[in-house]
Amino acid sequence: MMAVLPSLALALLYLLRAGAEVPVQPGFNAEKFAGTWYVTAAVSNCSVFLKIKDGMKSSIATISFTPEGDLAMQLVWPLLDKCQKFELLLQQSGQAGHYMAAQEKRDLRVMETDYSRYAIVHQLQQREQETSTALQLLTREQDVSPQLLQKFKELIPTVGLTEDMLAILPKSDQCTEAIS
C-alpha cells in the first residue's frame, strides 16, 4: 500500500496536467445531467478501443450522484450476445463537471451539454504506461442527428485525436431490458 499510493498520486497529477486545457460546461448542473444516456459515438486513441471499435454498438449509461456529489455511472454494453455491465464511481474534483477516480486512474470532464439532448464527455485514462484520451457523444435519444455528429467531429482535433479513431455506434435493443 505504501508503495502504491505515491504512484497513484503521481498518475493523478499527470492526468490533471494532461487535461488542464479541456473546457468544462460552464455552470454545470449535476441534477439535470443525471439519468439515462445513450453512448452514440466515441473517439479514442486507446489501443484496445481501436482494435474493437468497428464491432461496437451503442451502450447505455445511467448516471447518478451521491449525496457527496460524486458521480456514479453504470454502463451496459452489448458485447457479442451478452450485456456487459460496468460500474464506475468518480469523485468530484472541486470543479463542477470534473470528476476523478484514483484507483482506475481516470479523469472525466463534461465538456458541454444542453442536458436534454446531448452531452460531450472527455476522458483520460492511464493503463500501464499508456495514457489514452477519449471523447464520447451521449444523447438522450438513441437516434443522433447529423448536426450533433458534425459538432462532435469538430471537437475531435481540439483534443489531439483524429477522425480515423472515431466509431459511430450503431443502435442496439439488445440491452434496453438490462438497465436497472
Using CB under 6 A as the criterion, which residues of the chain lie in contact with ligand NAG when the complex forms? Answer: 45, 130-133, 160
CB of 159 to ligand NAG, least distance (A): 7
Give the E-state strand segments of the chain in sequence order.
35-44, 59-65, 71-79, 82-92, 98-101, 106-113, 118-127, 130-139, 166-168
Nearer to ligand NAG, 107 or 139 (CB): 107
CB of 134 to ligand NAG, least distance (A): 9
Nearer to ligand NAG, 19 or 78 (CB): 19
What separation in angstroms does the CA of 102 have from each of 3, 75, 78, 90, 137? 15, 19, 27, 8, 24
SS3 156: helix
Dist CA 138 CA 158 (whole Å): 18
Nearer to ligand NAG, 32 or 127 (CB): 127
Nearer to ligand NAG, 14 or 28 (CB): 14
C-alpha cell at 46: 486507446
CB of 45 to ligand NAG, least distance (A): 4
Q: With 0-12 CB in 10 A as exposed, 13-18 as middle and 19+ as buried, what is 19? A: buried
Nearest to ligand NAG by Cβ — which residue?
160
Nearer to ligand NAG, 82 or 127 (CB): 127
Dist CA 74 CA 96 (whole Å): 20
CB of 23 to ligand NAG, least distance (A): 15
CB of 41 to ligand NAG, least distance (A): 17
